[in-house]
Structure 1
């Protein structure tokens, strides 16, 4: 059993127009021996709204709605849990070893939200699950337990109904929404694995304004190639 197959379902959020990201993610899964069968493990077509509706950008709103969509699908299927990834995932070179340790340690744990990928710097020489005691930025590789589906879904819907700047949390980045729920609700049991098992692969953003190099058509292939080279180098070191 590996960290992907351990869960009832795994969904990879991907915008239909980002065929480049989909292909690179398929290669990333194959490189690490993970199988995408389009049922237990498959892609989720990202929501692509045309208006920001109070969110920092249209892309941020689309990301938020896409994670909500994965959660609602999991509820319709009556799943026990769901693993959620974004299509810029790059796995740690130690994911086979440490991923096995992570899922073995989950047996017997009472958890609601767990992070396999995160930017928290910890001593990972003896990896373990730590309680989330600080904001966890990014939501590219995490899981939600079935008993938390309704609580998280209802909280996200409340955010959609609130105006920007609402004291309880209005439209925001999805990772910030998870952090807000964990902070506001002491009953939520959230953990992160101290050995970071997944990073964001260097890739053109869909959430923010494009850089100069991505806006200029003649430069776009060059910056794309440089990102691929960077990703290849990073696979050797993290």
Structure 2
């Protein structure tokens, strides 16, 4: 394990990145270096790789119910399935290697400057505690819950997005078995099925956000800022409290 990662609650980290998105990998590499996280690039499974591995009809029906008729429906179905396959490939690799946990990042992830200070604290507070998945960022959906279990850890349910999370070895087999047949995109499977019975936790304050003004490969829209006063104040306070750390 790299000296930069000493004290973190994972020994292995991967960034899912399509081969042609060299721009995203460059941004990720720079951001990770700034916060002391050492991660390998994982060549993402693309739609072209799905010739013998097609999405389930259940997933197709789900996206149709959620999004309605759309000329881009087939593209979203294929890319959603390819995205899941990339995540599962990393989890399968972690299982086969016997790793205690693994950090999975998507290449549109961006870490706050105070990540090292907060993550070290959160990982210390994780010691001796049962947990299955640890979110470094995500969105609380309606009906979800957050409850403090320590100063930097929240017990959570219905957290959506899968751009930055750590999976404990105790969940590898379950995720690999359940996710493909769930009929849901991976982050929905996590939020609607897995989290309720897996001791899901989230780091407080949030460390990782999806990069703004970046075109989503799945949604095919550019993420725009949503100005939420409470969230902005929380981020400002965290920057003051934990300061900036560079490596």
RMSD of aligned residue pairs (Cα, Å): 3.0
Structure 2 portions without partners, runs of 5+: 64-75, 226-231, 240-247
More strand by share: 2
TM-score, scaled to structure 1 = 0.73
Match of 2:43 among 17, 42, 45: 45
Q: Which residue of 1 aligns with 2:72?
A: none
Supply the distance in 2 between the matched residues of 1:101 and 1:61 (Cα, whole angstroms): 35
- Residue 210 of structure 1 and its aligned partner are, at CA, apart by 4.3
The answer to whether residue 29 in structure 2 is matched with residue 19 in structure 1 is no
The one-character-per-residue Cα deviations of 1:10-35 (angstroms, maximum 9, x if unpaired) are 11111111000000001111222333
CA–CA distance in structure 2, aligned partners of residues 70 and 116 of structure 1: 18
Per the normalisation by structure 2, the TM-score is 0.70
1:132 is paired with a residue whose SS is strand
Change (3 A) 1:2 1:123: farther
Change (3 A) 1:149 1:84: same
Give yes or no for the alignment of 1:158 onto 2:158: no
Distance 2:180 2:160 in 1: 21
Q: How many residues align?
A: 198
Write the distance in 1 (CA, Å) between the matches of 2:116 and 2:109. 15
Q: For the Cα contact (< 8 Å) 1:4–1:10, is it kept in 2?
A: no
Query: Is 1:2–1:99's contact at 8 Å kept on the other side of the alignment?
Result: no
Matched with 1:144 is 167
More helix by share: 2
Which runs of 5 or more structure 1 residues have no equivalent in the other structure? 36-40, 160-169, 212-222, 228-233
Q: Would the aligned equivalents of 1:81 and 1:145 in 2 still touch at CA under 8 Å?
A: yes
Q: What's the offset of the Cα at 1:140? A: 0.8
Q: Distance in 2 between the 1:6 and 1:123 partners?
A: 21
Match of 1:208 among 210, 213, 219: 219
Looking at structure 2, the residues matched to 90 and 3 of structure 1 have their Cα atoms a distance apart, in angstroms, of 20
